Amino acid sequence: MSKKQNPALESLFPRASAFYAYANCAVSFRLAQAAGPEPDSVDSAFGTATHALLARKKKDEVTPEQKQMALELEAQYQKSFASWLESALAPPGPLYSERRLYLKENHFTLVSGQPDRFRRAGAHAYLADFKTSWHPVDSSPATNAQLRVYAALIWDFYHQRLDDLEAVILKPGPRLPPTIFTRSDLTLVRQWTIDIATSQLAPPPGTQPRKGPWCRYCPGKILCPLWQAELKNLASFTLDQLDALSDQALANLGPRLELASKIITRLQERLYDAVAKRPASFPGWSIVPGTTRRKITSASQAYKILVSSLALVSHQDFISATRVSISALRAFIPDSLLNQSLSGDGTLSLSQNPPHLAYDPSLQTCPQPPSLLSELSQT
């Protein structure tokens, strides 16, 4: 039986999933510890639910989109693993899915990580990492920092008795080939992991933060002085000046708007918690109770009472006032049959969500974006 995980204990160690930031910013771990965990975004919640399905964990409320993504990634995994197993020439050992691993040096835990899936066949090992985004940051298996740490963790898990480890990133859309860590590679990535983790746990005096694509997933950006300075610069400009931004300035600024939005959201949440706990420290601020809303939890029971028993409303009027959830119906009726049954007379109509912006960092032509202040000055 696996031990119950302690999130508070695990947060004390650098995490494999954050090594892209750790490798590029020496104070990322310290800032993240001070800031605390980030609130879930729509994308992160989608990824968490999909990973739970792939790990065979119970998930009460799963959307059809999450199920479809999990099925597609599972199919990719089965095909990729079967191809690897043919070359391994040995029977596969147990499959480990999201098993918590630790890397220790001199009896001191330095790193913690949960590879999505890994397995051994003889002296060979296979590692699969699932991504739910079409364009994840650091998406090449050959250079992915998270995969390097996973390789080091698995290397230690198997007592350094592997000849090689094949690592693959499975994601929607085009994928890059897997990368292979040889025995010498595994020794090197283990030392690299130790060096990065050690520098994060005890950064040299005077170490300064660095901005870049790695900031996107760093919870510490809310406290980062570089991002705080940029937010202040942004706030100092008038709406007229923002409207007059050049296309080049807007293109350079665009990828970082999401980060700025996350920082503002996180600051608002911290302000709410602080006002609730220490109102005397925030004169003029208060917590206003939310409005009360009513919700009918059982349409059938409401029908019995309002229509059948009390006759307060007619059958037709009650049906007209009732909304039918397509997602709920899909749990009982296949999509194809649902469409075939209701589309003919116009009962089922189709609508499309508004278009939204998408960004592919691989197409970014500005190698080193200037600061927000200089970008906003290009008017």
**Is a pLDDT exceeding 80 seen at residue 104?**
yes
Contacts of 187 (CB under 8 A, 6+ apart): 155
Tens-place pLDDT, residues 55-82: 987 666 788 889 899 999 999 999 999 9
Cα 270 from Cα 354, distance rounded (Å): 31
Over residues 169-188, the pLDDT tens digits come to 999 988 889 999 999 999 99
The reported pTM is 0.68
- Predicted confidence at residue 128, as pLDDT, reads 97
What is the C-alpha to C-alpha distance for residues 145 and 16, in angstroms, rounded to an integer? 8
pLDDT tens for residues 232-291? 776 666 556 667 778 887 777 776 677 677 777 777 888 888 888 898 988 888 888 888
CA atoms of 379 and 159, how far apart (whole Å): 59
Number of H helices, E strands in the chain: 15, 7
Cα–Cα distance, 184 to 192 (Å, whole number): 12
H-run or E-run covering 250: helix 247-277
Per-residue model confidence as pLDDT tens digits over 198-223? 999 988 888 899 988 888 778 888 88
Lowest-confidence region among 86-100, 135-149, 206-220, 360-374: 360-374
Residues 6 or more apart whose CB falls under 8 angstroms from that of 76 comprise 170, 175
Q: What is the pLDDT of residue 2?
A: 43
Q: Among candidates 165, 170, 135, 172, which has minimal Cα distance to 149?
A: 165
> What integer pLDDT is reported at residue 12 of this predicted model?
79
Q: Which of the four pLDDT bands, split at 50, 70 and 90, describes residue 7? A: low
Mean residue pLDDT across the chain? 83
The percentage of residues in the chain with a pLDDT greater than 70, rounded to a whole number, is: 87
Task: Give residue limits of the domains in the chain.
Answer: 40-201
